[in-house]
Amino acid sequence: SSGINAEYGWNEAWFRRPDLPKGYDGWQAVDATPQEASESVMRCGPCPVKAIKEGDLYLPYDVGFLFSEVNGDRIWWKVEKDGDMAVEYVDKSCIGKHISTKAVGSDEREDLTSCYKYEEGSEKEREVQEKVSHFSSRKEWVVKPTSRDLEVEIERETALMGSDITIPIKLTNTSESSTRTVSISAQVRCSAYTGRTDNNSPILKTVHSVHEVSEGESDTVTITISPDDYVKKIKAGSVLNLFLKAHVQETKQVFATKESFTVKKGSGITIVCSQKTVKQYEDFEVSVSYTNGTDTRLTRCHFYMEGPGIRRSKKLYCGTVQPHKTIDRKITLSAHRLGERTLLVKFCNSKIAHATDRIKIVVEQAEPTEIE
């Protein structure tokens, strides 16, 4: 099976493609960290973004691979004891949901999803999928949609480190005449930032329950994870993965999904610059502090500060931070680039996930020094 990352990045470059038919100049996708070999070489692209959107898999280079990266389906299989496999559920909307880049001139997110694919469920999207299916070497694996009268919605809420994590799961019975009995099996596990888990991944919560949902009605199942269940198990860059299976007893319908949640570390860090504007090449002072809002004793703690155009990246060691205590440090920096600069501060430790914050600093040109 192919892996599915919680997040993944690649590059785009703008140039002409005289080797292709007209209309494919412009943005080209290039992956500097290819996931598999292309023509026996570890490379990926350049691939016209337009070709990905239109499903032109026959064009060079690697259009088919990049198309699958943003249009793949997640198929859940049931494996019998004798090894036989059967499709239980197909999630057609979990891959390529938010394709983004950094906006020019700001830290805002610019959404590029519509540049890579047509709107999910639209007529144009169906036309592209139909065209692509003609190039498939495994047409018997194309799973046809089936009718369902159970809708499952996971309400993703921001999880804050040190507080209870709640995951509401909404069950809606769209049948007009029958009650549905739904068996819920759910498990929350901690995993690496890629979203992948294995048998060694810590299990934070397991839930098994049965719910009756009347016709046209909804019911909400809430999974709650206390800080004692997760704080000491989450490492830097970790995410929480919810594995959910819902089975309707009357119709044998099955819903299955995997959702990833990032635990927000909270503000935690406070950054104060001694000046609103600083002079190029002149020293300025920055104060940083961190409040440990958990019940965990943090060891091997340090602040790490850096920023484009700001000289001398610094690491400040600060030992141990006791539960619900604050530690602070001061540091002298200087900037060598003019304009608005960003100073990034990260608080690192050996116990829980790292916390990060940033401030903007305006750098002005220093006044010339007169020599008598």
Mean pLDDT of 5-22: 89
Handedness of CA 31, 66, 13, 341 (dihedral sign): negative
pLDDT tens readout for residues 97-131: 889 999 987 878 999 999 999 998 889 988 998 88
* H-run or E-run covering 67: helix 63-71
pLDDT tens readout for residues 306-351: 888 887 668 888 889 888 888 888 888 888 888 888 888 888 887 6
Ranges of H-type helices in 210-323: 227-230
Among 196, 198, 193, 207, residue whose Cα is nearest residue 244: 207
Sheet containing strand 26-30, strands side by side = 11-15, 26-30, 47-48
What pLDDT shows up at residue 144?
58
What pLDDT shows up at residue 193?
63
What pLDDT shows up at residue 1?
46
245 and 258 Cβ atoms separated by less than 8 Å: no
Q: What does the CA dihedral 343, 347, 348, 350 come to, rounded to 10 degrees? A: 180
Q: Both tokens of residue 308?
A: 């484009």
283 and 311 Cβ atoms separated by less than 8 Å: no
Please tell me which of 1-10, 141-150, 199-208, 258-267 the model is most confident about, judged by mean pLDDT: 199-208
Among 237, 305, 301, 311, residue whose Cα is nearest residue 271: 305
* Phi, psi (rounded to 5 degrees) for 223: -100, 125
> Please, is 263 exposed, middle or buried when counting C-beta atoms within 10 Å of its C-beta (0-12, 13-18, 19+)?
buried
Average per-residue pLDDT for the chain? 83
Mean pLDDT of 67-84: 83
Confidence of residue 158 (pLDDT cuts 50, 70, 90): low
The neighbouring-strand residues paired with 340 are 362
pTM given for the model: 0.67
CA dist 251 and 319 (Å) reads 59
Angle 45-48-52 from CA coordinates, rounded to 5°:
100
Grouping H, G, I as helix, E, B as strand and the rest as coil, residue 51 is helix
Q: Is 60 exceeded by the pLDDT of residue 11?
A: yes
- Give the DSSP letter string of 129-181: HHHHHTT-S-GGGPPPP----EEEEE----EETTS-EEEEEEEEE--SS--EE
Look at phi and psi of residue 26 and say left if phi exceeds 0, alpha if psi is from -120 to 50, else beta: left
pLDDT tens readout for residues 247-265: 888 888 888 888 887 776 6
> Please, is 359 exposed, middle or buried when counting C-beta atoms within 10 Å of its C-beta (0-12, 13-18, 19+)?
middle
pLDDT tens readout for residues 181-233: 999 999 988 877 665 665 566 788 899 999 998 988 999 999 988 888 887 77
Mean pLDDT of 167-186: 89
Q: Both tokens of residue 71?
A: 């249009």
